[in-house]
Amino acid sequence: MESRYDVIISGAGPSGSLLGFLLSQKDIRTLVIDKKNFPRYKICAGGLQDRILELIPFDISSMIHKSFGSIRFSLKGRDNFIKTHGSPIIHTIDRGEFDHFLADRAAGNGCSIRFGEEVIDFENNNIGITVKTEKHKYNTKILIGADGIRGLVHRRVIGKAGILRILGYELEKKCHPGEDPEKGRHIGLDFGGTKRGYLWAFPKKDSISYGIGGPVDTAVSMKKYFRQYLGKDLFGNNGTGPRVMAQCIPIRKEETPLCRERVLLIGDAACLGDAFTGEGLYNSFRSSHHALKSIAAALKRSEYSFKDYREAIIEDVCRDIKISLTFSRIFFTYPLFFYKLLKTNDKFFRLCCEVLKGSKKYSDISGRLNPFNR
């Protein structure tokens, strides 16, 4: 078994598998290690912003369940209205299928993958890093943390530095023949039922992913409203029904580390979640592309501080994350104002859609989210 690599990636999620694919394209010897055996179930709403497609250098159309250019809005389950953008804003996927597909593409491109192994330790040595799993030892010049906020590499790099967390609850409801087809025709967004957050419905091929997200300190009231919104028909008279799963979306603070000598973080491990939407895949894929450039340069010059990666992420990604925090505070302080604005102002709705599609960034429309600067 090969034990020496240029790069080892801990975590075969979207950011780790995409980076494995990209590195293998450049003939950089890469190993991806994941503690799970794929395919595996993954808690996720399954919404793929249209702008993500340009970051994936191969066709993923077979993974897309549905594409949506319309959104059904509601306020505490009432006052429904539908807005249509025209072209797709969101595509829905099954994250278990999608992650497995990305890992397969990386493997097909020459990237080595070890499923069912967990990174339990790593240490720097004179020529690189020794990575230990419960099964093997590997040597590498560079170690990538794509292992989320529970992973060892993430914890070692982040240390005691603070991060922000958005809590999300989610369940999958299977669709049955004869069910109201209108439920599957639009993305659903509900505001006002939880403080500083929102509820969503993402239709897929044969199910609907329902979820609710907000600050961790609103967990009790958030889960209560989630059950109230979906009702007894879904949860059952005794609280039975689909299992409600929980996850945290990590968001970095300004001082949160991104790298250290020979080690860098990407995706959720780097805490690159969007504070306004709670979405994480777009920034995860952006981090993979920036990591590719930095790793190639580091291997060429044998210098592994990754200062260029840190600077690129701060400039290209973190600026938008910072603005998304501001958006979140303003929007959820005045939810009724913005709900009415979405309902009555087509231009504002289009601007929001353009951010999701990628034709605009938060910084392009920052002034428009202040209710005192209409």
Amino acid 174: pLDDT? 86
Do 111 and 230 reside in the same domain of the chain? no
Does the pLDDT value for residue 299 go beyond 50?
yes
Q: Is residue 83 part of a domain?
A: no
Amino acid 233: pLDDT? 55
Do 54 and 144 reside in the same domain of the chain? yes
Domain count, the chain: 2
Note whether 290 and 316 are within 8 A (CB).
Answer: yes
Q: Is residue 37 part of a domain?
A: yes
Q: Is residue 257 reached through a cis peptide bond, with omega within 30 degrees of 0 on the bond before it?
A: no
Task: Say how far apart CA 252 and CA 275 lie, in whole Å.
Answer: 9
The type of residue at 257 is P
Do 57 and 122 reside in the same domain of the chain? yes
Of 249, 283, 311, the residue at which a domain comes to its end is 249
Tokens at residue 190, please?
A: 């509900």
Task: Say how far apart CA 365 and CA 280 lie, in whole Å.
Answer: 20
Of 215, 230, 249, the residue at which a domain comes to its end is 249
Task: Say how far apart CA 246 and CA 211 lie, in whole Å.
Answer: 9
Q: With cut-offs at 50, 70 and 90, classify the pLDDT of residue 374.
A: very low
Of 249, 273, 302, the residue at which a domain comes to its end is 249
Do 203 and 102 reside in the same domain of the chain? no
The type of residue at 154 is H
CATH at 214 = 3.30.9.10
Do 313 and 220 reside in the same domain of the chain? no
Q: With cut-offs at 50, 70 and 90, classify the pLDDT of residue 352.
A: confident
Q: Is residue 361 part of a domain?
A: yes
Q: Is residue 351 part of a domain?
A: yes
Which of 173-177, 195-199, 323-327, 328-332 is predicted with the least confidence, judged by mean pLDDT? 173-177
Tokens at residue 339, please?
A: 């709900």
Do 232 and 262 reside in the same domain of the chain? no
DSSP-H helix ranges across 171-318: 219-230, 232-235, 281-301, 307-313
Do 94 and 211 reside in the same domain of the chain? no
Amino acid 235: pLDDT? 55
For the entire predicted model, the pTM comes to: 0.92
pLDDT tens track for 58-109: 999 999 999 999 999 999 999 999 999 988 999 999 999 999 999 999 999 9
Do 197 and 319 reside in the same domain of the chain? no
Strands (E) across the chain are located at: 4-10, 30-34, 47-49, 66-68, 70-75, 78-84, 90-92, 112-115, 119-124, 129-133, 137-145, 163-174, 187-191, 198-203, 207-215, 245-252, 259-260, 263-265
Q: Is residue 94 part of a domain?
A: yes
CA distances from 180 to 71, 183, 313 (A): 17, 6, 44
Does the pLDDT value for residue 361 go beyond 80?
no
CA distances from 270 to 146, 153, 301 (A): 8, 10, 24
Task: Say how far apart CA 115 and CA 100 lie, in whole Å.
Answer: 11
Count other Cβ atoms within 10 Å, centred on residue 16: 32
Q: Say if residue 351 is exposed, middle or buried (CB neighbours under 10 Å; 0-12, 13-18, 19+).
A: middle
Q: Is residue 38 part of a domain?
A: yes
Residues 6+ apart with CB under 8 A from 178: none
Q: Is residue 73 part of a domain?
A: no
- Mean pLDDT over 286-306 rounds to 97
Task: Say how far apart CA 110 and CA 29 lie, in whole Å.
Answer: 8
H helix count then E strand count, the chain: 11, 18
Do 138 and 261 reside in the same domain of the chain? yes
Full domain range(s) for residue 26: 4-65+89-160+254-369
Q: Is residue 297 part of a domain?
A: yes
Instruction: Quote the percentage of the chain above a pLDDT of 70.
Output: 93
pLDDT tens track for 303-315: 999 999 999 999 9
Does the pLDDT value for residue 210 go beyond 70?
yes
Amino acid 2: pLDDT? 60
Do 44 and 155 reside in the same domain of the chain? yes
Coil, strand or helix at 116: coil
Tokens at residue 141, please?
A: 């010049």
Do 27 and 136 reside in the same domain of the chain? yes
CATH at 285 = 3.50.50.60
Q: With cut-offs at 50, 70 and 90, classify the pLDDT of residue 180.
A: low
Q: b/e for 138-154, b at 16 or more Cβ within 10 A?
A: bebbbbbbbbbbebbbb
- Mean pLDDT over 289-307 rounds to 97
- Which residue do the tokens 């598998």 mark? 17
Do 155 and 169 reside in the same domain of the chain? no
Q: With cut-offs at 50, 70 and 90, classify the pLDDT of residue 371.
A: very low
Task: Say how far apart CA 250 and CA 272 lie, in whole Å.
Answer: 7
Task: Say how far apart CA 261 and CA 259 lie, in whole Å.
Answer: 7
- Mean pLDDT over 325-339 rounds to 90
